[in-house]
Structure 1
Amino acid sequence: MFGYYLNLALRSLMRNKMLTALMVIAIAVGIGASMTTLTVMHLLSGDPLPGRSQHIFYPQVDPSPLPDPENTHKPWDMMDYRSATDLWSAHRADRQALIGRSALRLTAPDMNQPPLMAQVLSTTSDFFPMFAVPFQYGGSWQPQDDQQRTRVAVISSDLNIKLFGGANSVGRTLRLKDSDVRIIGVLAPWRPSPQFYDLVGGRFSNGQTADFYSKPQEVFMPFSSSLDINTDGFMAFTCWRAPDPGTSMTTSPCVSVALWVELGNAAKVADYKAFITDYATQQKALGRLTHADNTRMPSLMQWLDFNQVVPSDVRLQTWLAFAFLLICLFNTVGLLLAKFLRRSGEIGVRRALGATRGAVLTQCLVEAGLIGLIGGFGGWLLTLLGLALIRQQPVAYADLLHLDSTMFLATFVMAIVASLLAGAVPAWRASRVALGLQLKTL
């Protein structure tokens, strides 16, 4: 029976090609606009560690000595050096990684390359297995390298291509600042979206979150040996007072270190929350912390939401695109209503020959669905064009944009559903016109 309805729908569409083209174009343009922005939203707000993010947490304590009588101050996005290293040294999580950022002058002594400023991520050995970082050559350092302050490094795929033409550079030497480090690993192309492990200050950025979608750092080094090389310390997120001249990282009045932990089950999560609360209470008793009750431990996805990683202009564009789709659907409703009611005579003959109202309704909906399918194909092409145009824009996430299988299927599903919704009222009206009036139109 469906084949019969489909045949009738094709004949009806071919009978009035101009009206059919108008409806298809209306659906295609609306779907193309909405799916372009929805695809951008989907890619920017997705889970960067699917299947693992529910086990990844971001502990926070509040090192600020400033008074907070109304208890409104949230912990800063990073911790002071001592708090972060104390929590890490306790080894209370399944995996844990300290993170500090710096920019250092880099050269490759045995290559004819000019010096460059490299973004360096100082971390610990658990960083790579915890975040499922892929390797092209070699591997990461071991826990004992963190303790022994071994001068080794892992470099990004882009830096390996820039310095060594993409060849296996394990065992080669880099000079960071004035110290030599040995390359022990080269990452495979890796582009987490967003750059979740180094995500701070998003809610203060007024929608300017481009850094969250930039490429990963070029050099990864053991946390301890990085401090030996970079005696100036890590980039500070904020300070509660100006550091004194010559202040070391261990006593700096700034927050500049982050800690990520992996916890395998709910019991371990509860235990770790109690642990950081007890730690803050202990440090308050020692006179080092002021706000012992101000601790947090958001999950990875909660941390992304808190930092508002999706740019505000993308959210606005998505709402505007769906509003435009709604306008296109209203136009399609009017066109379908005119099309179905003009066929009152044909529908009357079918009713007189025994067709039920439900059969007429189904026939009209099949025709509307076919229009949606054709419009979905046009919307898919317009979505590809829209994404291609966005990739030409100077935004950090431009090269991340593509239409994955999920959004490809969603394009056609949305087109068919939208056309069925648009055709529901016209189909219902066509099936409810009195039989006598329908026959009189012959």
Structure 2
Amino acid sequence: MFQYYFLLGVRSLRRNPALTALMVLTLAVGVAASVATLTILHVMSGDPIPQKSSRLFVPLFDNAPTKGYKPGDEPNDNQLSYRDAVNLLNSKAGERRTIIYGVALSIEPARKDVGAFTAQGLALTGDFFNMVDAPFLHGQGWSPADDKAGADVIVINRKLSEQLYGDANPVGQRMTIGGFQYQIVGVLDTWTVVPRFHRIMGNDEGAFDEEDKIFIPFSNGIRHEFQHNGSTSCTDDRGPGFQAFLDSECTWLQGWVETRSAADRAELQSFMDSYAIEQRKLGRLMRAAPNKLYDVREWLDHMKVVGNDSKLSAWLAFGFLVLCLVNTIGLLLAKFSVRASEVGIRRALGASRREIFKQFLIETTVVGLVGGALGLLLAFGALALIAAQSKTLTVVAHMDWVMLLTTFAMAVGSAVLAGLLPTWRACQVTPALQLKSQ
């Protein structure tokens, strides 16, 4: 019977083309608006590294002065000073550790057809690549010895490699960056992390910035005195020069620690608390504020990667979907009301209310399927328009299989929900009254 009722539903679409088109379009527009917004929210709030998100931590110490501080106040910044970052790096905390700061360095290609340009990247330690499971196309990261020596070695991303060397493997070649000769030791494969959890701070687009093109050893950036490309917060009067900047309490570095398991979090927190006590003996960290520790998901929440405006947009989109459902209910009532005589005759011939209910509900499901298909096309169009607005939106405005299935489920579910009242009303038709009116 399901197949028969389904075919009846398909045929019913042609009985009143104008009314059917209006129902389908109303449902499709509501689904498209809500799905497009939900898709962006889904991508923005996703777990960027689910296999490790409970084992990667951001440690924070409040090194600001005590003046004006009240217990319970939030730290003045979400980064580390050079002293705290280096002490963390040299400690035995966790299984792996890295510290990061942004750089923007000039590249002088050997190719004559490519002019000099500036590339954004990161100065960090070699453990970073294993910590975040970065995929390599060629070569590998640098060694701990290179970290210690501040060696002139570099990892570049695939896009930069193809720009400078085409399809050739550039590992072992040398390139001029920031006025210095660097040896390429690795090429990262295409690697789009969404959200870009490891370096939210210090760039214009935040968690949805494009891929970094260059990666150099942290100690190398310090040795060459490469300036920090990102946000810096200073609460003391530092002297002139790069060394004075390093010795200051300015916060400008991002720290990450990987533990063997999520259960080791307490041990890491204990290390941080012990470290803070030792530093207070040296006249630092005098606020005695709680030392913060965030795993990946907590860090994204703390940095408000998904802002209240994004959540509000999602609620407004669903409100629009509800409005479309109300209109669809009215259209279905109008469609089913003109078929009262048909229902009366079927009831007189022995059809039960259950069968009538099943028939009309399957018809609304057909409307939902057609509306879902159209809604999916409209959603793709809406996402394409959103992605065209900026590079940042291109990263988040794409639909995966989860959202694809959600679109159809939402369309069919909305149609069935909208059809419950009209279908119930159709089942209440009295056969005798309809037969008398014929």
TM-based fold match above 0.5: yes
Counterpart check, 1:288 vs 2:284: yes
Match of 2:15 in 1: 15
Equivalent-residue separation in structure 1 for 2:408 and 2:227 (angstroms): 55
Using a 3 Å threshold, how does the CA distance of structure 1 residues 227 and 201 change in structure 2: closer, same or farther? closer
Match of 1:274 in 2: 270
| Alpha-carbon RMSD | 2.2
Counterpart check, 1:241 vs 2:242: no
The residue type equivalent to 1:34 in the other structure is: S
> Which sits farther off after the overlay, 213-222 or 370-379?
213-222
- Retained in 2: the 8 A contact 1:79–1:255? yes
The residue type equivalent to 2:174 in the other structure is: T
Counterpart check, 1:77 vs 2:72: no
- Superposed, which structure 2 residues align to 1:42-441 within 5 Å? 42-67=42-67, 68-74=69-75, 76-109=77-110, 113-200=114-201, 210-230=205-225, 232=227, 235-246=230-241, 248=243, 249-310=245-306, 314-398=310-394, 400-441=396-437
Q: Deviations over 1:87-135 (max 9, x none)?
A: 2211321222111122223323576643322223111111111111111
- Retained in 2: the 8 A contact 1:75–1:296? no
Using a 3 Å threshold, how does the CA distance of structure 1 residues 10 and 109 change in structure 2: closer, same or farther? closer
Secondary structure of 1:158's counterpart equals helix
Secondary structure of 1:230's counterpart equals coil
- Per-residue deviation at 1:391? 2.4
The residue type equivalent to 2:233 in the other structure is: T
After TM superposition, the score normalised by the length of structure 2 is 0.93
Q: Deviations over 1:284-343 (max 9, x none)?
A: 122121123321111111111121223655444433322222221111100111212221
Using a 3 Å threshold, how does the CA distance of structure 1 residues 395 and 185 change in structure 2: closer, same or farther? closer
Equivalent-residue separation in structure 2 for 1:264 and 1:37 (angstroms): 37
- Retained in 1: the 8 A contact 2:194–2:395? no
Equivalent-residue separation in structure 2 for 1:137 and 1:111 (angstroms): 24
Q: Deviations over 1:71-94 (max 9, x none)?
A: 313252101111112122113212
Equivalent-residue separation in structure 2 for 1:441 and 1:435 (angstroms): 10
- Retained in 1: the 8 A contact 2:103–2:227? no
Equivalent-residue separation in structure 1 for 2:391 and 2:121 (angstroms): 23
- Per-residue deviation at 1:260? 0.9
> Which sits farther off after the overlay, 41-50 or 254-263?
41-50
How many matched pairs?
436
Equivalent-residue separation in structure 1 for 2:389 and 2:228 (angstroms): 36
Equivalent-residue separation in structure 2 for 1:4 and 1:264 (angstroms): 59
- Per-residue deviation at 1:359? 1.9
Using a 3 Å threshold, how does the CA distance of structure 1 residues 215 and 302 change in structure 2: closer, same or farther? same
Equivalent-residue separation in structure 2 for 1:156 and 1:354 (angstroms): 72
- Retained in 1: the 8 A contact 2:9–2:362? yes
- Retained in 1: the 8 A contact 2:123–2:221? yes
- Per-residue deviation at 1:157? 1.8
Unmatched tracts of structure 2, length 5 or more: none
Give the share of equivalent positions with the same residue, in percent: 39
Equivalent-residue separation in structure 2 for 1:4 and 1:432 (angstroms): 22
Unmatched tracts of structure 1, length 5 or more: 203-208
Equivalent-residue separation in structure 2 for 1:234 and 1:366 (angstroms): 60
